[in-house]
Amino acid sequence: MLEGILTGLSTVLQPTNLLMVMVGCFAGTFIGMLPGLGPISAIALMIPITYGFDPAAAMILMAGVYYGAIFGGSTSSILINAPGVAGTVATSFDGYPMARQGQAGKALAVAAYASFSGGTIAAVFLLIAAPALASVALSFQSSDYFALMVLGLTAVAAFAGRNFLKAIMMTVLGLMLATVGSDPVDGIPRFTFDKIDLLDGISFLLLAMATFALSEAIMTVLKREKIADAAKAATKGSMGSLKLSRGEVREMVPVVGRSSVLGFFIGVLPGAGATIASFLAYGMERNFAPGKKKEQFGKGSIRGLAAPETANNAAASGSFVPLLTLGIPGSGTTAVMLGALISYGVNPGPTLYTDRPEVFWAVIVSMYIGNVILLILNLPLIPYIARLLTMPSHILVPLVLFFSLIGVYLVSFNTFDLYMMVGVAALAVGLRLFDYPMAPMILGFVLGELMERNLRRALTVNDGSFSFLWERPITLGIMILTVIVLAVPLINALRDRRRAAAIVSSGEGG
């Protein structure tokens, strides 16, 4: 194995391959920053360019584009609440509130450090254990994925706060929206009103852009509490400041550690991926956070920002395990990369790391270098990018509207999507005026689709019986964990209430 790693290292250190890492990271970050264009489009654009390249060089380039795009995707989530990639939705939960409090620079820096750490730690795992992890990737069946999605839904609790009922209602709305389009098992159209444009369902990008970016821009105008107000409150200097206090760093370290491990293993599972990883990490960190810190989640918590940002990058690296060692793509992006690999004459599978060690190890080694390059590339730019928010809102708001609409149109080239987006945004503004939170809806939407597919598949495989819930150890384990996650806060709340009652009554007695 050491020999393989050295082969990989020497391959990566060739000047052309180093250039590939840099070009990939740069192109990926840039494309990722644009709301709408995600890693899939970025990689599909790269494929024709890479014909004729050495396979190792081509893969290094595409891997760079992939994690670069996830790295860059956090920027629009944090600054303008426009998560252009599903994996960065959770980033906006706390990143955007931080930016609004005049800490845009700090938020971007936290995201950059978290992404860097997640990516690097995951690369270490890959290096040590990639071939052995193939069996982990194959340990999850549909029923286990179903349980995992149910666990993911518990992250909704983070947004519940005082409006528990409203958060639940929005989650259900998200689950309902996920059922629009053709049925994943039978292909029968559901809630499409005979419109062919709805047959593929509502696109995630459209929903996220409409309910987050567009509605936020409109709210800014309606409420007249400009984004720029927050910016003015802080001086220009502190807006772009990257400085983290020692306490903040100390707070981040354990979060980053836990989220890297979680993110990586979720990424290794071909049926999960960066989005699920980011939600789970967010929910997990909220559960781990002590009292006061817990309440900050959703309002600009550093933990709440670092967790999903670490996890989504770790998961992106983790998804190379099933891709390279089994030839199974875990996401649309890795599916495109698999197609490219095969067309270069490289056959991914259990024999790849012995047959073509230069490709296998070079990709993994290039991830270290890529993550360092991303950090070097991004940190100096942050002060300038953060200053975007000091723009007067009569310029910023139209820009946000423009980029969100263009971003969605560029993916589908369908004008119907634009009308629907405006409609959804109007609805979202109405709901927000009555304090209905949008995040649980998106969470329900993303997880709902996967929950349905996996549940129905598990039922088919199990001849229609729900017995997998207690017969499969992994499913049972995750379900028990879910119950614990839900029950512990309830028990604590009850105990607190009883204690408070006891104090009151004993006070009366005395």
Partner 1 sequence: MLAAVSGSAIAEDLPSNLHFLVPGGAGGGWDGTARGTGEALTGAELIESASYENMSGGGGGVAIAHLIETADRQGDTLMVNSTPIIIRSLTGVFPQSFRDLTPIAAVIADYAAFVVAADSEFESWDDVLAAYREDPDSVKIGGGSVRGGMDHLVAALAFQAAGEDPLAVAYVAYDAGGDALAGLLTGETQLLSTGIGEALGQMEAGQVRILVMTGDERIPEAPDVPTLQELGYDVSFANWRGFFGAPGLSDERADAYAAVLSEMYDTEAWETVRARNGWTNFFRPRAEFVEFLEENEQVIGDMMRQLGVL
Q: Which residues bind partner 1 (CB under 8 A)?
A: 40-41, 43-45, 47-48, 137-142, 182-187, 189, 196-197, 199-200, 270-271, 322, 326-329, 332, 335-336, 338-339, 342-343, 345, 347-352, 412-414, 453, 457, 460-461, 463
**Least distance (Å) between residue 89 CB and partner 1:** 20
Cα dihedral 150, 151, 153, 159, rounded to 10, equals 160
- 375's tokens: 């950090």
**Least distance (Å) between residue 165 CB and partner 1:** 33
Smaller CB separation from partner 1, 184 or 489: 184
Smaller CB separation from partner 1, 245 or 460: 460
The residue with tokens 């389009």 is 181
Neighbours of 6 (CB within 10 A): 13
Smaller CB separation from partner 1, 51 or 470: 51
Smaller CB separation from partner 1, 329 or 448: 329
Q: Give the Å distances, CA to CA, from 49 to 23, 40, 57.
A: 12, 15, 12
**Least distance (Å) between residue 329 CB and partner 1:** 5
> Angle at Cα 37 formed by Cα 35 and Cα 43, nearest 5°?
150
Residues forming a β-bridge with 263: none
**Least distance (Å) between residue 413 CB and partner 1:** 6
- 144's tokens: 């286990």
**Least distance (Å) between residue 347 CB and partner 1:** 5
Smaller CB separation from partner 1, 39 or 83: 39
Smaller CB separation from partner 1, 274 or 389: 274
**Least distance (Å) between residue 26 CB and partner 1:** 21
Burial (CB count <10 Å: 0-12, 13-18, 19+), residue 313: buried
Residues in the chain: 510
**Least distance (Å) between residue 342 CB and partner 1:** 6
Smaller CB separation from partner 1, 185 or 501: 185
Residues 6+ apart with CB under 8 A from 22: 64, 373
CB 312 within 8 A of CB 274: yes
- 2's tokens: 């050491």
- 334's tokens: 């890795």
Using DSSP's 3-state secondary structure scheme, residue 190 falls into: strand
Phi, psi dihedral angles at 193 (to 5 degrees): 50, 40
